[in-house]
């Protein structure tokens, strides 16, 4: 008999107003070794309720989870809510802390601006320019994708996600209790979730591996697809047994 390698259950959680297309390079590269799902993020304006909805969407008893930006915040929430179900954890371009007071106020303005401009203009004129590395030009293909994903998500999803992020709890206190193989990855030019947040994650999660990609901004899965895929492939090979 031939040995058949089981494809590992892998959940990839996208960021705000993003969908499975954020992970398209990784899905294509890893689908031979992983059974991949990308959840919907539109069920609630409460972060914990969103996390519980994701757990309900996942068909496996145990799985590895990777999340980017809001997806990383949700991955940490899954780790707090159902640690017995998480086999590995990967946190990309994300933030373990509660929303800063000034950013909480800005979330209300973000929703109003999206309402005034419409999702396509808001995504193209406000969001897309924030995503490249500091000093880098906006990639027209990436900008078009950001707009397409935002249009598909729509204003109500954006409103719910913005409120969930605004009111989210601080996740930093639970980092020391994480005992699964953990990858922390970011671009050194990420203006939304800077390197300092990722060194904090790596310093406070036991045994975490830190990968910093040079010249990469917030959407690392698209801006450095091969490097991100390589880091995830290595992470999936790490034994999840203590």
**Domain extent listing, the chain:** 8-98+171-237, 101-164
Across 90-104, average pLDDT: 96
Q: Residues 8-98+171-237: name the CATH superfamily.
A: Alpha/Beta hydrolase fold, catalytic domain (3.40.50.1820)
Name which of 185, 113, 191 is nearest 155 in CA terms: 113
Across 89-114, average pLDDT: 96
Q: What is the pTM for the complete model shown?
A: 0.96
- pLDDT over 50 (residue 71): yes
Across 64-70, average pLDDT: 98
Task: Report the alpha-carbon distance of residue 134 to residue 139 in Å, rounded.
Answer: 13
Task: Report the alpha-carbon distance of residue 189 to residue 4 in Å, rounded.
Answer: 41
pLDDT of residue 1: 38
pLDDT of residue 41: 97
pLDDT of residue 29: 98
Name which of 38, 17, 15, 16 is nearest 27 in CA terms: 38
- pLDDT over 70 (residue 241): no
How sure is the predictor about 68, in pLDDT bands with cuts at 50, 70 and 90? very high
Residues of the chain with pLDDT > 70: what percent?
A: 97
pLDDT of residue 6: 76
pLDDT of residue 5: 58
pLDDT tens digits, residue range 125-173?
Answer: 999 999 999 899 999 999 999 999 999 999 999 999 999 999 999 999 9
Average pLDDT, the chain: 95
pLDDT tens digits, residue range 193-233?
Answer: 999 999 999 999 999 999 999 999 999 999 999 999 999 99
How sure is the predictor about 76, in pLDDT bands with cuts at 50, 70 and 90? very high
pLDDT of residue 4: 42
pLDDT of residue 2: 41
Task: Report the alpha-carbon distance of residue 233 to residue 235 in Å, rounded.
Answer: 5
Task: Report the alpha-carbon distance of residue 35 to residue 8 in Å, rounded.
Answer: 6
Residues of the chain with pLDDT > 90: what percent?
A: 94
Burial of 11 (0-12, 13-18, 19+ CB in 10 A): buried
| Tokens, residue 130 | 């924030």
């Amino acid at each position: 008999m031939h040995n058949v390698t089981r494809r590992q259950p892998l959940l990839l959680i996208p960021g705000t107003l993003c969908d499975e297309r954020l992970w398209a390079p990784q899905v294509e590269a890893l689908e031979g070794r992983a059974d991949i799902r990308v959840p919907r993020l539109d069920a609630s304006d409460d972060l914990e309720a969103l996390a519980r909805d994701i757990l309900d969407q996942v068909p496996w008893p145990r799985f590895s989870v990777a999340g980017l930006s809001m997806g990383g915040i949700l991955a940490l929430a899954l780790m707090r809510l159902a640690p017995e179900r998480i086999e590995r954890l990967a946190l990309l371009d994300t933030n373990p802390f509660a929303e800063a007071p000034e950013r909480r106020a800005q979330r209300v303005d973000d929703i109003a601006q999206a309402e005034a401009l419409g999702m396509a203009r808001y995504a193209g004129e406000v969001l897309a320019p924030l995503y490249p590395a500091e000093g880098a030009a906006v990639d027209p293909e990436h900008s078009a994708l950001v707009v397409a994903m935002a249009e598909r998500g729509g204003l109500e999803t954006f409103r719910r996600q913005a409120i969930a992020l605004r009111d989210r709890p601080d996740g930093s206190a639970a980092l020391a209790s994480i005992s699964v193989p953990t990858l922390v990855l970011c671009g050194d030019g990420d203006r939304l979730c800077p390197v300092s947040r990722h060194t904090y994650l790596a310093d406070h999660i036991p045994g975490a591996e830190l990968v910093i990609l040079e010249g990469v901004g917030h959407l690392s899965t698209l801006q450095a697809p091969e490097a991100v895929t390589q880091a995830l492939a290595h992470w999936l090979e790490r034994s999840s047994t203590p």
